[in-house]
Every structure is written in structure tokens, then in C-alpha cells.
Structure 1
Amino acid sequence: MILFPAIDLKNGKAVRLYKGEFSTAHQVADDPLATARAFYAAGARYIHMVDLDGARSGSRQNGAIVQAVAKESGLKVELGGGIRSMADLEDVFALGVWRCVIGSAAVSDPDFVREAAAKYGERVAVGIDAMDGIVKTAGWERSSGLNYLDFAKSMETMGVKTIIFTDIATDGMLSGPSFDRLAALQKTVACHITASGGVSSNADLDQLNAMGLYGAIIGKAYYAGTVDLAAAVKEAGEQC
């Protein structure tokens, strides 16, 4: 299983939120690039980054930091937040990003998803963020009314190969992932599935790995010291 230690960016700083609430943003690291290098030193080879400014407003604010991490950390960068057009994809890939995550635009502009998947294949993922099983958009501030399983099936039919699923109720809470909803998603689509939200311990990661998931994102647990990243990498297997 691929491990994606995470850096969320807001106003140029590495922050974490509780349940996606922007009012709860708090800085967790002084230097995003130094943090990324620490991930690499622990054995990680991938990083999940989110431009929270872009996710909320559609205007990406943190490109210079993303570019520095992509070019200087040794990690493959998976980036989401404010990617809403083919031009956005091209701009982000030009920063050295390995994979882009389409979030809100997957709901509002499915034709964009279809075109992106056709052109970029595995380099495009769709982020499905749900509260009580209902997909939310615009930095988790708007409800789409769509069931997450139905939406995942529609994304698969458009050629999407990778889905990043976040149960918003668990995000930043160190309460454990939403194992049941992840299992239901596994039964619904054949896409690669990355679990996001709620990871609180190495035991959680072991359970996700045992489920056969493609990947897991590690956020607050790393910064809180409740996950040993180096040990998790050894348990998860080869990271390439």
C-alpha cells in the first residue's frame, strides 16, 4: 500500500483542519519543504498536498511551494485544490506535479473529468469527499446531494482509475478511518482507492493495508506523533 503523508497549504503555511472547517486551521509545520524532506527520510516516496486556498476559492495560491517540493524533496507530488479545467491541469503539471486530484469540478463539470482521464490516465484522480455518505464540494462547504457510491460509479464510467475517498466526519479527528464506507466503495468500483481522513495509528494503517487498498493518506496523525511513518513504510511495503 502506498503511503501519502500530507501537507495542506493555506496562505503559504502547512496547516491542518478539523472536519474540513476552515475556521479551525492551525499551523503544524514551519517549513513545508523541510517537512517533505522528513517524509522522504522516513522512507516515503509520495506526498499528498492540498491547496486549501484553491479548494475554497478556485484560485490556487501556493504554486511556488508545490513546485519546490516537487523538484527538491525527492517525493512524487499528488496535488488537489482548485483544479477545475484542462488549463489548470497543464499549469499544475508544469510545476512538476505527478498526479492531480479533481474535486469539486468532478461534480460540476463531468465532461472535464472525462477529457482529463482520456488525456492523462493514471495521472488524474478524483477526490470524493462525503459527509454521511453525501458528496460535498467547494472545500467541503456545499452539499451536492449525491450519494458517494453512485458518484464513484459515474466517475469510473468516465475513465477514472483512482479515487481518493474522505469521510469528512473523521478528518483531523484521530478517530480511525471510515472502514465500512471504504469497504462499500471497494465493492462498488474497480478503481484504485486511497483512504483519507481519520488515520490515528500504525494499527489503522495495517488494517487499511489488510483490506487491499491502493493507498492511505496520513495527515494529523503524523504531526501529532501518533503514527511512526518509518515503521508504517516498512509494514506497507515497497513505495514505488
Structure 2
Amino acid sequence: MIPAIDIKGGRIVRYAEGGPDTVYRLDPVGTAEAFVADGARWLHLADLDRAFDTGRDNDAVVRRIVGLQGARVQVGGRLRGPDQVARALELGAARAVVATGAAADPRIWEAITAAVDPSRLAVAVDVRQGRLVHRGSDQPPASAPDALVRRAVAAGVRAVIHRDLQRDGELAGPDLDGAARLLGLGADVVAAGGIGKAAHLIAARDAGLAGVIVGRAFYQGRLTLREALACLA
């Protein structure tokens, strides 16, 4: 169970593909502390100011969160090159999440894995209609994700994050079939996008997934972390 904290302008937001962000007037550090107090062992952070090159960053906030005792933190948010990945790890992240496009580009991927320990990486597997797609891109979906995951595992990556962009933020359930197809390739598979109720969590567990990333369902009060953990106990 991995609560998601997306940060922009020092506040928590939920990014919407092709639509306006939802801004929650919540303090990211206080929210992270509450998640840890309620039992979170991992947190997923994304600095959307860095992701979208706004000219600002939330490094100070990220540092405070990764310094919390009791949970490990993975940092994502369109990490597209070795400098961005290294920066996330330098801030104290236990794991950096490499963007789909960067992981799919052999030249960029080679530069990233030469710069940092691949065991401290996760790869974002963003899909639409079962095909890899780069978030924010107008390009049509490309190849199936299997080859990308195999290449990541061969380099030493231990986790991948499968997200169906058509389901992201819809709260109607993740693409468990697509995520489950990545099982057996050598990496832990985490599902993201679409978690809206306890039944989705149970289905993800029963499908054999290593975890789920949950954001909007928590912030909209559809589910609490304690309820989520209790249903999986």
C-alpha cells in the first residue's frame, strides 16, 4: 500500500492527464506524517514543478518527507534523464521512478543505469490500450510493455509501476489484467491509477501484485489508509 503525494507549489495536487489539476489544501509533510502514523511503509512522491519545468522545485519538502522515520520513499514525476534520477536519490529517496519514455530510449536508459545503481530504480510502465505511451505526449501508443520490463530487469531493476492512463483518476479500478501480464518477468509489479475502493485493493492482492499506489481515493475520503490496510490484513 503506497500513498501518493504529488506536490506543486508546496501543496498537494492530483495531476489530471489533459485536464486541470485538483489542488488539495493540505501540507505535504503533515500528510506524509499522518500516512506513516497510520501504517504506511512506502510513500510515492512526485514534484510536479520539476516534472513540468515550472522553474520552481519542492526539494525542501521532499527532503523533509524522505527524512521521516518509519517509511521508505520513492520519488517519481517524469524523471527523464540521469541528472534528474540522480537528484531524486541525492534527496534521500530509497528509489527513483524512471519515466516510461526514458526507460524506452536505449541511449537515455544506458546513461541512467551507468549513473546510478539500477537496484535503486523503478520503471514507470504507462500504457493506453495495452501499449506503452509517454505521458503528456501526443504520440500514438507504441510497443507492448513486456520488452521494456525485461530490459529493465536485465539491468538490475527490481520494481515496475504499471499505470493505465485511461483509468488514472477515474476511481473505477486499475488495469489488473495488464499489470498481471508483467508478472513472472522478474520484477515486483505495482499497480497505479484507478484505485477507488477496498475491493480494488483485494483484487490487486489476489492477482499477485506486489503493491498499489493510491492517491485520489484517500484525498476524496473514499478510503482511509487504515481501512485499506485492514482489508488486506
Classify the secondary structure of the residue corresponding to 2:148.
helix
Contact 2:45/2:75, CA 8 A, preserved across alignment: yes
Return closer, same or farther for 1:159/1:113 CA change in 2, 3 Å cut-off. Answer: farther
Are residues 1:112 and 2:111 paired? yes
**Residue 41 to residue 106, structure 1, CA distance change in 2 (3 Å):** same
Kept after mapping to 1: 8 A contact 2:119/2:156? no
Q: How many residues are treated as equivalent by the alignment?
A: 229
**8 Å contact from structure 1 (residues 164, 194) kept in 2:** yes
**Structure (1 or 2) with the greater helix fraction:** 1
2:221 matched residue in structure 1: 225
**Which whole-Å CA distance do the structure 1 matches of 2:120 and 2:159 have between them?**
9
The Cα shift of 1:107 comes to: 2.3
Q: Which has the higher contact order (CA 8 A, sep 6+)?
A: 1
Contact map agreement 2:85 2:98 (CA 8 A) in 1:
no
Query: Is 1:123 paired with 2:123?
Result: no
Q: Please give the secondary structure, in 2, of the residue aligned with 1:181.
A: helix
In the alignment, the residues of structure 2 paired with residue 171 and residue 218 of structure 1 have an alpha-carbon distance, to the nearest angstrom, of 10
Choose which of 156, 165, 170 in structure 2 pairs with 1:168: 165
Tell whether the 8 Å contact from 2:167 to 2:173 is kept in structure 1 after alignment.
yes
In structure 2, C-alpha distance between the alignment counterparts of 1:101 and 1:46, rounded to whole Å: 13
> Counterparts of 1:67 and 1:155 in 2: how far apart (Å)?
27
**1:53-92 maps to which residues of 2 (within 5 A)?**
53-57=49-53, 61-72=57-68, 74-92=70-88
| Pairing 1:216–2:212 present | yes
Unaligned residue ranges in structure 1 (runs of 5+): none
**How high is the TM-score relative to the length of structure 1?**
0.85
**TM-score normalised by L of structure 2:** 0.88
Tell me by how many angstroms 1:173 deviates.
0.6
Deviations 1:123-158 (A, max 9, x none): 211111111122222x43343622223322332233
Q: Deviations over 1:51-92 (max 9, x none)?
A: 223333497722111111111464311101243344333322
Kept after mapping to 1: 8 A contact 2:82/2:112: no
Say which structure is richer in strand: 1
Does 2:174 correspond to 1:177? yes
Q: CA RMSD in A?
A: 2.2
Residues 126 and 163 of structure 1 are in contact (CA less than 8 Å); yes or no, is this contact kept in structure 2? yes
Match of 1:136 among 109, 122, 133: 133
1:29 to 1:42, Cα distance in 2 relative to 1, 3 A: farther
CA 1:149–1:57 in structure 2 vs 1: closer, same or farther (change >3 Å)? farther
Identical residues among aligned pairs (%): 31
Runs of 4+ in 1 over 6 A off after TM superposition: none
Residue type at the aligned position of 1:166: R
Letter in 1 for 2:159: T
* Aligned-residue offset at 1:113: 4.4
Contact 2:160 2:189 in 1 (8 A): yes
Task: Please give the alpha-carbon distance, in whole angstroms, between the structure 1 residues aligned to 2:53 and 2:157.
Answer: 24
Structure 2: gaps (5+ residues): none
- Matched with 2:4 is 6
Aligned residue in 1 for 2:146:
149
Once residues 112 and 160 of structure 2 are traced to their aligned partners in structure 1, the CA distance between those partners, rounded to angstroms, is 12
